[in-house]
Each structure stands twice: as C-alpha cells, then as structure tokens.
Structure 1
C-alpha cells in the first residue's frame, strides 16, 4: 500500500530545510509561516517543491486579539484569510473555502484552542495535534485526551522554527499524496494515519532547542512585531484584503 510521510507544519523554508526533510524521508511538507500573506506563501512553496518533496502552502491564522489569540491551521485555502478575526469568522471562512481546519498545540500557553473551543467547532475541525516538540509531556497527554473526547482524527508535526527540527515528527497517511488537494482530501476524509516522532537524546535536545526558541519568539520577537513593524501584512485592515473583512473583528 502506498503511504505518504507528511510533516504537517513548519515555519521555515529554504534549501537546507528541503535537504533536511528529504534526509528524514518526508514526502510532503506543509509550510505556514507567521504573518505572511497566502500569495507569498504559495510562491515560496512552489519554488521549493520538486519530484521528491511536495511543499504545500498553508496559513496558521491567529484568531482573536493579540493578547487572546488562538491558532488554527488552514490547509487548502483558495483566498487569503487575515489574522485577528474572531474564531467563529475564521472557521466559517475555512468552511466556505473547503479548506481543512487543523488545531495545532491545543491548550498550549495562550495560543492554543481550548477543549471547549474544539468541542464547539468539532464539526468543522478535521484534526487535532496530539504531539508537538514544544510541548512538555503533560501537554501531549492533554492534547490526546482532548482529541479522544472530541472523537477527532489526530496529527503531529515538527512545528519547526529551527531547521534541524524539520522531520522530527510526522503523520503517515495510508494513501499517496501528490498535490495539495490530495492532502486536503486525506484530512477531510479521515484517511487512516499514524502519528510518529523521533526519539533518543538527539531528538530531546532538538525539542529543547525548539522550546528555547519560544522564549525569543515571545520576548524580542513579540516586541519587534508590536512596536517596530507597524501594521502586520495579515491584519484585516491591510489593503490586500480589499475591505472583505470590514466589521468582522
């Protein structure tokens, strides 16, 4: 039976990332950087896709306000969706476009959907992440508990912000995935899959490095976003969205 190894969420993409993914046996990489508009993500994903590795563009949308943001990963968007719109509005838009809606790192810090959120939107959610390298063991246990209680399919990803993390975790689908639409179908049709991650000392060190990166991202990185960068390119007021989301947030 043909199977596809998919790293369902990475934040970085360049030649070294592609080389790392291939060396880890990854067939499909889902690229979803923060605060980058969908057309730019698509362009970069296409640039780094080849016969050995399919790179699928996606958006991790920050729903709600910056202080109370909740992340949802959308795969298969046809039109751009901004950050900072209500969770209900984002889920409605994903549904309208036929995109797969995934829940990364549930209940993690102040950025993951709660169990209540997941149960509320369970009919619109296609999978929940049950293992993440930035998680501590109790986070992974809680994520699995939430997923089981909601009776939703599971997934994992490397959630790589650092190149050496790419391919540390993957979801193996029992089907061939040769296009973005194949991946969306596999997610929406609940194709059988296995959630897998590496182990050993090196793996633990790479996970620790990812967690340490979280400190930078939420200190200087956040200050840079809030004070130095001006309006985010994915803000709903940005001209790129042509007033489509006026009055939504």
Structure 2
C-alpha cells in the first residue's frame, strides 16, 4: 500500500467504446473491467487492449453463466489463462477458475435466480476473492442483503456500475489504497485484500441509473433471451462451440 494513493476501478462494465472511455476518464476512473455477455475471451482481450492507454486501464474479464437459464449463477473471473464457456455446471466453472488461479468476483449475490447463495459463498470461500455489496440494479434491501452476506462470510467487498448503458459507467466504483498500474497489479490488490472503499451515488442520478438499468434488464430477459435461445444458433460461448475443442462437450447443460 502507498500512503495517499487512491486507484478508482469500475469492476464490471458490459459496454466499451469511445464514449465509455471518454466518460470513464471524465469522471476520474483509473480502470474498468470489461466483461460483456456471450463474448469469447480472446475477443474481450483484444478489445480491452485496444481501448487501454496511460490514462485508463481496461482489464478483460468474463462473467460466466453457470447452469441453466432457469437457475443460473453469474461469476466474474479476471486473469483467466484459458477460455471458459457459459452453460456448464457451477461446480465445473468454479473448478476451472481454481485450476487457472483466476481472480473470482461474485456479482449481485442472492439476487433473483442469477446469483450465488450464501451456501455457495461459504463452500467456495477459498476460491472467491470479493463479493459485490452495491449494484445499481439493486434496490436498497438487495444491497443491504449483499453487504450482510459479505460480512457473514468474511469476504472482501467490491462494487461496480454493472453498466449495460454508457450513462451508467462509473456510477459506482471501488477505490483501492494502492498504486495499480497493470492488470496484474489489480488482480493482486483483489486477491491480497488490499484496503478499499466502496463508492456509489445514492442520489437522484443513482436512482435514474437504477431505473434505466432495470428497464434494460427487462429487455435483456425477454426478447433478447428468446433470440439467444431459439433464433441465433450456437452462442460463441456455448460449451459445445468448436472454439472449446470439445473440452466441455460432456458437461454442457444444453
């Protein structure tokens, strides 16, 4: 830790373009973790590298959808060495993250049917590096429950904008008391439980972000889901996609 140094990270965004980068820099972020849905790791890495510069570090990540659409668990992994697909059993995904010594973050715990439970947090406490205790898509009681879960399980906190919309980027961020210059530095800060603060806007802008992101969530879980399941063919992150060379064929849930 370096006295007087603060490094501000939006630990989970879904969007990345010139407008996102401009906004992130304007509001004082030092880094963002880019982890879009249904996008393979090589593509995420390439895009993250293209938008990184001396002012803003863009770190590639994968939010893996483990399980089925009806009962799926979202896990955010950073520092992966090999691609991990969606739609594999939760236990298989966690074992793969552990094998790769990835940094594992838990977004929106116990939220709807898309999250890790307290039992999951306890069972994989040795693999999990941090738990999200504030998410702009949450209502206050959801954030309160998440904070209590992290405390009960003695797991470090983090927050993110979980931005699916450009306007949401940076509305919440994690401020580390450390000098962080590279992706490896960020992974070490998360894994070593470096001192941090969870920073978010709970005023009018924060509530406007919540409303906009929840509206996007409704769209994402209706028409977009139907399109992905029935109309678009095999997802790039489907476990039986040729890119995974058959490694996950026998554990695919679809």
Q: TM-score, normalised by structure 2?
A: 0.96
Q: Which moved more, 1:120-129 or 1:30-39?
A: 120-129
Per-residue CA deviation, residues 168-203 of structure 1 (Å, 9 max, x unaligned), is 000011112211111111111111100010232122
Task: Give the aligned partner of residue 195 of structure 2.
Answer: 192
Per-residue CA deviation, residues 141-172 of structure 1 (Å, 9 max, x unaligned), is 11011111100000000000010000000001
Q: Is the counterpart of residue 231 in structure 1 residue 203 in structure 2?
A: no
Task: Give the aligned partner of residue 4 of structure 1.
Answer: 7
- Secondary structure of 1:247's counterpart equals helix
Task: Give the aligned partner of residue 76 of structure 2.
Answer: 73
Q: Is the counterpart of residue 28 in structure 1 residue 31 in structure 2?
A: yes
Task: Give the aligned partner of residue 154 of structure 2.
Answer: 151
Q: Which moved more, 1:125-134 or 1:85-94?
A: 85-94
Counterpart CA distance in 1 for 2:176 and 2:96 is: 26
CA contact (8 A) 2:65 2:73 kept: yes
Counterpart CA distance in 2 for 1:141 and 1:196 is: 15
Counterpart CA distance in 2 for 1:22 and 1:90 is: 34
- Secondary structure of 1:84's counterpart equals coil
Counterpart CA distance in 1 for 2:79 and 2:158 is: 16
Task: Give the aligned partner of residue 135 of structure 2.
Answer: 132
Residue 102 of structure 2, aligned match among 61, 78, 99: 99
Counterpart CA distance in 2 for 1:15 and 1:97 is: 32
Report the CA distance between 1:204 and its aligned residue: 1.4
- Secondary structure of 2:128's counterpart equals coil
Counterpart CA distance in 1 for 2:58 and 2:159 is: 17
Deviation >3 Å, runs of 4+:
none
Counterpart CA distance in 2 for 1:113 and 1:190 is: 20
Residue 166 of structure 2, aligned match among 163, 171, 185: 163
Counterpart CA distance in 2 for 1:116 and 1:157 is: 23
Report the CA distance between 1:242 and its aligned residue: 0.6
Q: Is the counterpart of residue 90 in structure 1 residue 93 in structure 2?
A: yes
> What 5-or-longer segments of structure 2 have no aligned partner?
none
Q: TM-score, normalised by structure 1?
A: 0.98
Residue 22 of structure 2, aligned match among 13, 19, 22: 19
- Secondary structure of 1:107's counterpart equals coil
Counterpart CA distance in 2 for 1:198 and 1:178 is: 26
> What 5-or-longer segments of structure 1 have no aligned partner?
none
Report the CA distance between 1:96 and its aligned residue: 1.2
